[in-house]
Amino acid sequence: EDKVVQSPLSLVVHEGDTVTLNCSYEVTNFRSLLWYKQEKKAPTFLFMLTSSGIEKKSGRLSSILDKKELSSILNITATQTGDSAIYLCAAALGSGAGSYQLTFGKGTKLSVIP
Amino acid sequence: NAGVTQTPKFQVLKTGQSMTLQCAQDMNHNSMYWYRQDPGMGLRLIYYSASEGTTDKGEVPNGYNVSRLNKREFSLRLESAAPSQTSVYFCASRGQLNTEAFFGQGTRLTVV
């Protein structure tokens, strides 16, 4: 059974702290790993990672994939109250030419307090 | 561009009633998905369609049916709603190979 596990499930930090969110996967036909941020409604896309060891950055957020360890981390530096959200990671699975199924973890609920 | 459009946004059903959730995307994507989201459970895949004319079960398909009507539309049907199907339902679509998935705004369904 394909499985994506995120930790911690919830986290409370103060503004300015740095946080690291973890995602591990045990899946067949792994193609890529995706990170999403969910505030009130639909998840919004953050990063997609396909190659091990290559960091992706966007402002204060960065993420990296380790295919040997079957895991990924999402780092947020200098957190702000606007970073409060549920962070979801998903493994894209597939065979042949395409990657079809997207399996999500349970998410990490991040709360940033002033 | 509208992206992924879901209707309705809210629905209350009585146990045993049926209904269809509609989803349409205008990005010419091949793959479409239906998820449900319950507190503390993340997004659980109900059904997906890798391309027009194909559908496959996900993690929690029981009690649901889907139809990939054409490349744009992917509907989810509850034949006989149960309180356990109270949830927020998200539709998503994705282009081929390694690309991000785009989500609709969700349908909040309550079964009483």
Confidence of residue B40 (pLDDT cuts 50, 70, 90): confident
Mean pLDDT across the stretch B25-48? Answer: 92
Q: Which residues fall within 8 angstroms of residue B100, CB to CB, at 6 or more apart? A: A34, A45, A48, B94
B32 → chain A, closest CA residue: A100
Distance CA B72, CA B68 (A): 8
Mean pLDDT across the stretch A70-80? Answer: 97
Q: Which carries the bigger pLDDT value, residue A62 or residue A51?
A: A62
Asked whether the beta carbons of residue B30 and residue A31 sit closer than 8 angstroms, the reply is: no
A47 → chain B, closest CA residue: B100
Q: Is the pLDDT of residue A95 over 80?
A: no
Asked whether the beta carbons of residue A103 and residue B45 sit closer than 8 angstroms, the reply is: yes
Chains A and B: how many Cβ contacts under 8 Å? 65
* pLDDT (0 to 100) of residue A81: 97
In which residue are the tokens 């929690």 written? B60
In which residue are the tokens 């060891």 written? A53
- Residue B2, SS3 per DSSP: coil
In which residue are the tokens 């059904």 written? B47
Please list every residue in chain B whose beta carbon sits closer than 8 Å to the beta carbon of residue A44.
103
Q: Is the pLDDT of residue B98 over 80?
A: no
Local structure of residue A69 (DSSP, 8 states): T
Asked whether the beta carbons of residue A101 and residue B58 sit closer than 8 angstroms, the reply is: yes
Put simply, whether B44 touches A (Cβ < 8 Å) is yes
Confidence of residue A29 (pLDDT cuts 50, 70, 90): confident
Distance CA A83, CA A38 (A): 10
* pLDDT (0 to 100) of residue A97: 60
Asked whether the beta carbons of residue B103 and residue A31 sit closer than 8 angstroms, the reply is: no
Of A84-98, A100-114, B97-111, the range with the lowest mean pLDDT is A84-98
Asked whether the beta carbons of residue A48 and residue B98 sit closer than 8 angstroms, the reply is: yes
What are the Cα distances from residue A18, in Å, to A29, A80, B26?
A: 33, 10, 38
* pLDDT (0 to 100) of residue A40: 83
Q: Is the pLDDT of residue B93 over 90?
A: yes
Confidence of residue A64 (pLDDT cuts 50, 70, 90): very high
Sheet with A3-7: strands ordered across: A3-7, A19-26, A71-76, A61-66, A56-58
Distance CA B68, CA A41 (A): 24
* pLDDT (0 to 100) of residue B39: 86
Token couple for A24:
């591990």
* pLDDT (0 to 100) of residue B48: 92
Token couple for A12:
């409370």
* pLDDT (0 to 100) of residue B97: 67
For residue A48, give the nearest of B41, B50, B100 by CB distance: B100
Please list every residue in chain A whose beta carbon sits closer than 8 Å to the beta carbon of residue B96.
97-98
Mean pLDDT across the stretch B95-107? Answer: 86
Peptide bond into B8 cis (omega under 30): yes
What phi and psi values does residue A82 have, to the nearest 5 degrees? -70, -10
* pLDDT (0 to 100) of residue A51: 83
Confidence of residue A93 (pLDDT cuts 50, 70, 90): confident
Q: Is the pLDDT of residue B46 over 90?
A: yes
Measured from the Cβ of residue A109, the count of other Cβ atoms closer than 10 Å reads 16
